[in-house]
């Protein structure tokens, strides 16, 4: 049985070019980039080259790139590091209510140390209103964080407008762009952000390799002490093979993003249009147009996401239900709940996110096998029987 991978948000397959540069480094002998001998300097050059490639992808300076182990680490470094630096002496931070848990929980940690955190609501499509951000600002606000794109519902946020508001008030602005970088064009200068998080495994790079863009001149307090790596901003021996893979994945993204986006958008639109025609009681989640090109997300009434996910897996199709970070729990995604979707409907969340090798034939297969799965599960659903009784 052919496996059809529709779980891009949990991670993408490693691109052969990224794998090749990683293997080449490992096979030639690993070395510490901080070492002064020839082997160390070869490793240093690999790190420096990857930094340049990644900077080109997001239109930053190479020295503005800080390599980390994950998008979650980059988010923590940004929010905590910027807040603790107290750029304008403030102790108030703002974030949207649908941020990744790494930011929500980082904000909670800051609250325990005396900071105040405000969570700004979103609308029914997961969109943050810049005016709501502006209304939440106070003279004590030092940092605002709003994601560029949401991995659960695919919505792309009005980051330029929010960044402009923050800049006019002298407030640091961070965006979690993990779901966006490598999938849509990202220009940190045009966006006007002070910091931006990204992760390699969202654009065909290796797991365990990520980065934080920090605009030149912006100060932050490091979270890890004990080393001079990353210009003293992130201690620890560099993950050279992971960084090399990240750099190569960035190069691939620059070459392939436009064509890949067109192809993924066509498949996404087909799924968004045809699934509700094949299946009753389907609710599209997220913005219908301003969304990631490879992303289609739905709530299916009267069934739970876990059941659909497991049955699709048995048919050779890998999808996500809600958040990859919460996939082992039965709790509904906080993103969907914050959008005003009731808990019962949110339990029936599925996310279809496409990778490079997905074809129109794969979408045909999904559309053929999915409706019978849902009908089977609905026959076991008390909620469905209650609905049928009430509709008579």
Q: Give burial (CB, 10 Å; 0-12/13-18/19+) of 277.
A: exposed
Of 103-112, 201-210, 381-390, the poorest mean pLDDT is in 381-390
Of 4-8, 35-39, 193-197, 207-211, the poorest mean pLDDT is in 35-39
The per-residue pLDDT for range 308-367, each reduced to its tens digit, is 999 999 999 999 997 445 445 557 899 999 999 999 999 999 999 999 999 999 999 999
Instruction: Quote the CA–CA distance of 312 and 373 in Å, as a whole number.
Output: 8
Average pLDDT (244-266) is 97
Chain centroid to Cα 168, Å, comes to: 27
Helix 305-314, helix 360-378: angle, nearest 10: 130
Of 14-23, 111-120, 375-384, the poorest mean pLDDT is in 375-384
296 SS3 class: strand
Confidence of residue 28 (pLDDT cuts 50, 70, 90): confident
pLDDT value at position 88? 83
Confidence of residue 127 (pLDDT cuts 50, 70, 90): very high
Whether residue 167 has pLDDT greater than 70: yes
Average pLDDT (129-138) is 98
Catalytic position from the list 224, 318, 324, 325: 325
Domain 16-252: which topology? 3.40.640
Query: pTM for this structure?
Result: 0.95
Average pLDDT (270-283) is 97
What's the Cα-to-Cα distance from 262 to each of 13, 203, 208, 368, rounded to whole Å?
A: 19, 16, 28, 24
Percent of the chain with pLDDT over 70: 98
**Average pLDDT over the chain, rounded to whole?**
95
215 SS3 class: coil
Whether residue 203 has pLDDT greater than 50: yes
Instruction: Quote the CA–CA distance of 47 and 193 in Å, as a whole number.
Output: 24
Q: Under CATH, which number does the domain 4-10+257-391 receive?
A: 3.90.1150.10
pLDDT value at position 389? 81
pLDDT value at position 59? 98
pLDDT value at position 223? 94
- Of 282, 241, 331, 252, give the one whose Cα is nearest residue 22: 241
Q: Which residues are within 8 A (CB) of 335 and not within 5 positions of it... i.e. 6 or more apart?
A: 98, 126, 150, 152, 153, 322, 323
Confidence of residue 392 (pLDDT cuts 50, 70, 90): confident
How do the domains of the chain map onto residue ranges? 4-10+257-391, 16-252
Active site residue 299: no
DSSP 138: -
- In the chain, what is the greatest distance between 2 CA atoms, to the nearest angstrom? 80
Show contacts of 135-139: CB within 8 Å, 24+ apart: 136/94, 137/94, 137/165, 137/166, 137/169, 137/171, 138/90, 138/92, 139/90
pLDDT value at position 149? 98
pLDDT value at position 330? 59
């Amino acid at each position: 049985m052919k496996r059809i991978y529709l779980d891009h948000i949990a991670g993408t397959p490693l691109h052969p070019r990224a794998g090749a540069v990683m293997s080449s480094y490992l096979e030639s002998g690993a070395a510490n980039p901080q070492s002064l001998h020839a082997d160390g300097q070869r490793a240093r050059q690999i790190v420096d080259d990857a930094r340049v490639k990644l900077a080109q992808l997001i239109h930053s300076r190479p020295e503005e790139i800080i390599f980390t182990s994950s998008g979650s680490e980059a988010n923590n470094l940004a929010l905590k590091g910027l807040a603790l630096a107290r750029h304008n002496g403030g102790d108030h931070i703002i974030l949207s209510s649908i941020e990744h848990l790494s930011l929500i929980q980082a904000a909670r940690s800051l609250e325990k140390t005396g900071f105040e955190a405000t969570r700004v609501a979103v609308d029914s499509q997961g969109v943050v209103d810049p005016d709501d951000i502006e209304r939440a600002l106070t003279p004590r606000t030092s940092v605002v964080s709003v994601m560029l794109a949401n991995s659960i519902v695919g919505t792309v946020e009005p980051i330029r407008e929010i960044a402009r508001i923050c800049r006019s008030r002298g407030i640091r602005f961070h965006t979690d762009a993990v779901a966006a970088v490598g999938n849509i064009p990202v220009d940190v200068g045009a966006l006007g952000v002070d910091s931006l998080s990204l992760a390699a495994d969202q654009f065909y790079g290796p797991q365990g390799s990520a980065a934080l863009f920090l605009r030149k001149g912006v100060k932050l307090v490091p979270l890890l002490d004990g080393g001079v790596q990353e210009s003293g901003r992130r201690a620890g021996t560099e993950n050279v093979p992971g960084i090399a893979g990240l750099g190569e994945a960035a190069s691939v993204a620059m070459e392939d993003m436009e064509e890949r986006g067109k192809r993924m958008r066509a498949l996404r639109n087909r799924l968004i249009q045809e699934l509700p025609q094949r299946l009753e009681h389907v609710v599209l989640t997220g913005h219908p147009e301003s969304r990631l090109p490879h992303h289609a997300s739905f709530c299916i009434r009267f069934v739970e996401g876990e059941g659909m996910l497991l049955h699709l897996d048995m048919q050779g199709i890998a999808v996500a239900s809600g958040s990859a970070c919460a996939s082992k729990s039965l709790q509904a995604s906080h993103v969907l709940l914050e959008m005003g979707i009731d808990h019962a409907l949110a339990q029936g969340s599925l996310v279809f996110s496409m990778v490079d090798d997905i074809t129109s034939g794969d979408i045909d297969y999904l559309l053929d096998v999915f409706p019978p799965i849902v009908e089977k599960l609905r026959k076991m659903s008390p909620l469905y029987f209650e609905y049928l009784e009430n509709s008579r």
